[in-house]
Amino acid sequence: MSVIDNNKRKLILGIGALAALSQLPAPAYAGRATPKRLSFYNRHTGESTSQTFWAENQYDQSALDAFRRVLRDHRTGEEMAMDSGLYELLYDLTQTLGTDRRIEIISGYRSPKTNAMLASHSSKVAKKSYHMKGMAIDIAIPGVELSELRRAALSLKRGGVGFYPKSGFVHLDTGRVRQW
């Protein structure tokens, strides 16, 4: 077979592959053009923000900055960029619950100093908490029973879900899937 015949063969195979790919369903991310909004209220600082964090197929940095401020360690004032996957998880949770109510923050980012202090007072605080990595949040949503919040979070099968009914919150993180 000549070089020209071989090149024609590759071209025809390539065109055939493209034609086949064009018949596949649109990728899952194609629907991400829908704007995504979250509202937060920090119970410790009294601060709140409501932001569209995803629009036109990209994250809005000013919204992420506003979230970072509200989710900061309220004891030290330290901020950390939170995992965008956490915002996606929270958005999907609100969609699962069918609510656009604000999410009340009990704990977002925790500095190593704050986490060590909390861990020294309670065996329920992980020494290597995802809170210190900006990958965890403790929440409640007014009007949503904690048991329903937990059930909805578990149904998403994404990250860790901790249930603290006596303390009035559900823990969510973007680590491996687990529950307690």
97 and 144 in contact (C-beta within 8 Å)?
Answer: yes
State the Cα–Cα distance between residues 156 and 154, nearest whole angstrom.
5
Mind listing the pLDDT tens digit for each residue in 48-87? 999 999 999 999 999 999 999 999 999 999 999 999 999 9
Residue 12 lies in a domain: no
Cα-trace Rg, the chain? 22
Q: In this predicted structure, what is the pLDDT of residue 63? A: 98
Structure tokens at 76: 């030290």
Residue 152, in any domain of the structure: yes
Which CATH number fits the domain that encloses residue 164?
A: 3.30.1380.10
How do residues 118-139 score in pLDDT, each as one tens digit? 878 877 777 788 999 999 999 9
* Residue-level pLDDT at 26: 46
Residue 6, in any domain of the structure? no
Residue 16 located in a structural domain: no
- Structural domains in the chain (count): 1
Going by C-alpha positions, the residue among 79, 81, 51, 72 that lies closest to residue 63 is 51
